[in-house]
Amino acid sequence: MKLKHFLIFLVSGFSFLVSGFIFPVNAQHFSSSSYIIDWGNFNITSGRKSSTNYQLTDTVGQNAPGISEKNGIKIKSGFQYIYDTFTELSFTIDKLNIDFGSLTPGLGSTDTNLLTVTTPSGHGYQIMASENHPLWINPNLTIPNTSCDSDDCTPTYSSPWTSADKYGFGFNVTGVGASSYFLDSTHFRPFADLSDNQLPVIVASENVPVKERLTTINYRVLISSLQAAGDYQNYITYTLVPKY
């Protein structure tokens, strides 16, 4: 959903009839040798207040302050909402190297990444993921991407993966934004494979602003006794897409 944000000043103008004549009335009028201002209202004060028990932002003098929303359009009336625009979009990952160490056939090896997202007020986000290719030494020696226990999981569909004889490489995501994509911690997917012309897919998303939202990526790799020895590797890419 795309949300548009507007900081507005509400202008009120009106006229009335006296003895058959219409006289324009300006709610407030200011002038000098260099300016003339006619406006519906002028804010008296605004700012941030706080104590040990509360935090308050306010606008005094604004006509009809507050948030209004309809059909995906959100209007914020009042100076205090300008503070929302000060939040910057940020996306961090805790480490750039995932090392499964020496793999044991039939015993799954795991590791994690922690992603942190902050978005401006009124904006949501999407995290998209992909791999450059399966884990491999070369294109002829690979650890295949998982198809899960029922051979039905895909880059866009997660499924349980708990069996010790279903080999491959896959991932699970946990966190508030991932609940629509992974039912629980036993549900996995293979990464979208760019070398197979697959497109990055959404693995977590929200439609509201978030601050330091944590998302955990859980990697799992399981090999058979027939897997050739060697150093297998690939690159995983995460892309944060803000919603405006």
Is the distance from CB of 241 to CB of 125 less than 8 angstroms? yes
Higher pLDDT, 106 or 68: 106
The region of weakest confidence among 7-11, 84-88, 217-221, 222-226 is: 7-11
Mean pLDDT of 106-125: 91
* pLDDT recorded at residue 79: 65
CATH number, domain 90-242: 2.60.40
- Separation of alpha carbons 215 and 121, rounded Å: 19
Cα three-residue angle 205-208-214, rounded to 5 degrees: 55
Work out the percent of the chain whose per-residue pLDDT is above 70. Answer: 78
Phi, psi of 33 (to 5 degrees): -70, -15
Quick check: 38 pLDDT over 80?
A: no
Higher pLDDT, 216 or 65: 216
> Tell me, what DSSP letter sits at residue 157?
B
Provide the pLDDT confidence category of residue 200 given band limits of 50, 70 and 90.
very high
User: What is the value of pTM for the model shown?
Assistant: 0.70
Amino acid at the residue 57: T
| Spans of all domains in the chain | 4-86, 90-242
Residue-wise pLDDT for 144-164, tens only, equals 999 999 999 999 999 999 999
For tokens 């160490």, name the residue: 101
Higher pLDDT, 202 or 122: 202
> Tell me, what DSSP letter sits at residue 179?
T
Quick check: 60 pLDDT over 80?
A: no
* pLDDT recorded at residue 43: 65
Residue-wise pLDDT for 214-225, tens only, equals 999 999 999 999
Quick check: 6 pLDDT over 60?
A: no
- Separation of alpha carbons 183 and 185, rounded Å: 7
Provide the pLDDT confidence category of residue 118 given band limits of 50, 70 and 90.
very high
Residue-wise pLDDT for 99-113, tens only, equals 999 999 999 999 999
